[in-house]
Amino acid sequence: MARNKHRWSTKKKAWIFVGSMIALVFMIGVGAGGYFFKVAEVREKKSFITGSELSKKDVLYQEQQAFINQPTMTEWQQTATDGTKLVGYYVPAAKATKKTVIVIHGFGVDHKAMAPYGTMFHNMGYNVLMPDDRAAGKSGGKYIGYGYLDAKDYLKWIDQVVAKNGQDSEIVVMGASMGGATTMMLSGMNPPTQVKAFIEDAGYSSVSAELKYQAGSMYGLPKWLSNILIPVVSAYSKVFAGYSYGEADAVKLLKNNQRPMLFIHGGADTFVPTRFVNQVYRATKGPKEKMIVPNAKHVQSYATDPIAYENKVRDFMTKYFK
C-alpha cells in the first residue's frame, strides 16, 4: 500500500510538473505574441524602417521632390468600410486623360516614399493617385493592414477614381514592398473592370511567410519557434485588427487573378527574399512578366537601374494599358 501511495505521489508530481511547464510555455507564447504583434502591426515609428523622404544624395531625390511639390496636387478623402478615415493625393496628367495609376506605399512609411514612382507615371502621361495607407501618414487607423485590409481600402479608392473621372476610366495599380503585397491581394478581390493591369515590386508571398522569415533574420528565432509564435500573433491580429494571417496571403489571392501583372524584385533583396517573387509569379493566372534587377536591395530596383526600370514599366503599360 505504501509503495502504491509512493507511485501515485510520483505520478502526481510528474503531472504537476508537466502542467506547470505547459502553462509556462503558454504564458510565454502569449506574452511574446503580444510583443511581436505590437512590433508588427501597431502604429508607431519602427526602428528598423527608414523614413519616407530621400536625402539629396539619393538617386531618386529629384523625382521625389518633383511629385511632392506638384502645384496641381489635390487632397482626396476616403472612408473605409470600418470607418477609418483615409487621405490620398491626386495629380492629374498634364494632358487630360482617363488613364490613372494608383500607387501604393510600403510598411512603416507613407505616400512620399513612392513619390519617385508617381513622377515616373506622371511623366508617362497618366493621372496619379497616391494615398496614405491606414495607420500611415495623414490617414487614420491604429493597426497596419499588411496588405489585406489595405487591398479592401483600395477597392474604395478605385471606386472614387471612377466616380470622379468617369465610367470609362482605365486604371493600373502599382505597389512596392507591402504595397506590392497589397497590389497582389487586391488583384484577387475582383476589382472593378476599369482596372486593367497590376505592377508589384518586392511584395511578399504571404504575411506569415514574411514574418517567419523576419523572426529568424531580425531576432534569430529558430524555425520551430516561429511556427509556434506566428499563429499566436495572427490570433492577436484577428482579435484587434480584424484579420488573420491566413487571410493575408498573396499567393492564395493571386489564384483568382486573370489580369496582366508585372512582377519586379531586387536580385539582392534580403528583407523580402528574392525567392518570394517566384512563388507569386507562379500563382497568378493572367498574362505575366517578371523583372529581376541584379544587385538591387529591397525596393531599390528603380534606384539601382532607373533606365531599365522605366523602360520595362513603359513597355508593360504600352502592352496592357492602351
Query: Domain locations in the chain?
Result: 1-41+220-246, 55-206+248-320
Q: 13: Cβ–Cβ under 8 A, 6 or more apart, which residues? A: none
Distances (CA, A) of 222 to 4, 7, 286: 43, 38, 37
| Residue 141 one-letter amino acid | G
Please give the model's pTM, rounded to 2 decimal places.
0.89
CATH number of 55-206+248-320: 3.40.50.1820
Provide DSSP, 176-195.
Answer: ETHHHHHHHHHHTS---TTE
With cut-offs at 50, 70 and 90, classify the pLDDT of residue 29: very low
**Considering only CA atoms, which of 272, 248, 258, 93 is closest in space to residue 176?**
272
DSSP-derived 3-state class of residue 79: strand
Q: Contact at 8 Å (CB) between 161 and 173?
A: no
- 169 sits in the region (left: phi over 0; alpha: psi -120 to 50; else beta) called beta
For residue range 284-313, what is the model confidence (pLDDT) as tens digits? 999 999 999 999 999 999 999 999 999 999
For residue range 204-215, what is the model confidence (pLDDT) as tens digits? 999 999 999 998
Task: Give the three cell numbers for residue 97.
Answer: 486623360
Distances (CA, A) of 96 to 89, 121, 125, 169, 180: 17, 14, 9, 12, 28
Distance of CA 46 to the CA centre of its chain: 15
Mean pLDDT of 119-133: 98
Q: Taking the CB of residue 159, how many other CB atoms lie within 10 A of it?
A: 14
Any idea what the Cα angle at residue 192 is, between residues 310 and 302, rounded to 5°? Answer: 15
Provide DSSP, 258-307.
Answer: -S-EEEEEETT-TTTTTTHHHHHHHH--S-EEEEEETT--TT-HHHH-HH
- Does the CA dihedral 50-52-57-60 come out positive or negative? positive
Residue 18 confidence (pLDDT): 40
For the chain, give the mean pLDDT.
Answer: 90
Check residue 143 and report its DSSP letter: B
Indicate if the pLDDT at residue 15 is higher than 60. Answer: no
For residue range 153-178, what is the model confidence (pLDDT) as tens digits? 999 999 999 999 999 999 999 999 99
DSSP strand pairing (127-132 vs 85-91): antiparallel
